[in-house]
Amino acid sequence: MTNSLRPHGYQRTPLPEETAPTPPTPRAEEPGQQATTPPAPTSPAGQKPKQRDAFFDNAKYLAIVLVAMGHSWEPLTDSSRTAEALYMIVYTFHMPAFILISGYFSRSFDMRPDRLKRLITGVAVPYLIFEVAYTLFKRWADDDPTYDFSLLDPWYLTWFLIALFVWRMSTPLWKLVRWPIPLSLAVATLAAVSPDIGDDLDMQRLLQFLPFFVLGLCMKPEHFQMIRRRSVRIASVPIFACAFVFAYWAAPRMSSAWFYHRDSVQELGAPPWTGPVMTLALFGCSVVLVSCFFAWVPRRHMWFTVLGAGTLYGYLLHGFLAKGSRFWGWFDDYQWL
């Protein structure tokens, strides 16, 4: 390209002296013609602000609704085989789905100060607040004024907060591992056959639910696109039907405590060799049902989508109602429920 400041082979005619530009006079609008308006200013980067994905907000909201439903069904499982079967199905995938989404959105976590601060304010601080609130609530509602307060012994739903804190802090380590999912399953298996782990920080749940968080770390957007295909949605119907039939058969033969992932196999009265078998079997069943659940989650914006952004607090707050209903004997007074 020719440099206009240093021409080669010819002499350009000097330009006239610059004068101040005169503002254009507005033209009269012609009949039937609208006046043109300047385009609206755009952001400096020329990009629209990033919007939340309605699919994930819908999935989180529906998962927490299932958590609340499972807690409300628990008192009915002793007297209803159908309720026990539904309870086992829901517990197979509702928390794994929520944990998997938590892992998926933790993929970019590192030890940057701003992200550590967000982890502390968004997870650690709510853990402290709700651990105190739950303890005071139990002392009052259950008429147990001597109930001990302990940050090392999460009460009821607060186990998820301390587990999420540890899982997210371990994210950079899982990024360095070549085979993270098999390694996390090995950790879960060792926890399942180790009754001496103890109850501090609800370590059994933290370790046995770990594979679902690591699976979320390894997932990519195209994996969710595959799950949301119409063929998967159709296939999920007979899969859920078969799951109900199996759960109905297993209800009187199998303890639902297997789905809590809070005890070792020895504490559940099973021999140690069942640890690897049950860990892999429950993980496989959970992944299948989680996929079927995601296949039916709406992709578009729904009336409850906005509630999906605050599911953590919905999860924690519903615990007061779930425990209060037991402390106050609501299910004893209303057997028809």
pLDDT number for residue 48: 55
Distances (CA, A) of 15 to 11, 12, 18, 22: 12, 9, 8, 18
Average pLDDT over residues 299-309: 90
Query: Residue 138: which of 314, 324, 313 has the closest Cα?
Result: 324
Q: Which residues contact 256 (CB under 8 A, 6 or more apart)?
A: 77, 84, 87, 88, 91
Confidence tier at 279 by pLDDT (50, 70, 90): very high
Question: Which residues are within 8 A (CB) of 42 and not within 5 positions of it... i.e. 6 or more apart?
Answer: none
278 vs 322, higher pLDDT: 278
208 neighbors 221 (Cβ within 8 angstroms): no
Identify the pLDDT of residue 13: 42
CA distances from 191 to 154, 164, 249, 279 (A): 18, 17, 28, 10
Average pLDDT of the chain?
A: 85
Please write the tens of the pLDDT for every residue from 228-261: 999 999 999 999 999 999 999 999 999 999 999 9
Separation of alpha carbons 253 and 261, rounded Å: 18
Structure tokens at 229: 């295909």
CA distance 330 to 314: 21
pLDDT value of position 35:
42
- In residues, how long is the chain? 337
Return the DSSP state at 259. G
pLDDT digits 0-9 by tens, 101-127: 999 999 999 999 999 999 999 999 999
Mean pLDDT, residues 14-18: 46
- What is the C-alpha to C-alpha distance for residues 8 and 103, in angstroms, rounded to an integer? 64
Domain boundaries, the chain: 54-331
pTM for this entry: 0.82
Residue 106's contacts (CB-CB under 8 Å, 6 or more residues apart) are: 167, 168, 171, 213, 216, 217
Instruction: Check whether 154 has a pLDDT greater than 60.
Output: yes
Q: How many CB atoms lie within 10 A of CB 199?
A: 13
- Show Cβ contacts of residue 120 under 8 Å, excluding neighbours closer than 6 positions: none
Q: How confident is the model at residue 310 (pLDDT cuts 50, 70, 90)?
A: confident
Task: Check residues 294 and 318 and name the one with the higher pLDDT.
Answer: 294
Other C-beta atoms lying within 10 Å of the C-beta of residue 185: 19
Angle at the Cα of 262 (from 259 to 263), degrees rounded to 5?
100
What are the tokens at 167?
A: 């899982």
Look up residue 106 and give its two tokens: 């933790």
| pLDDT at residue 335, as a whole number | 52
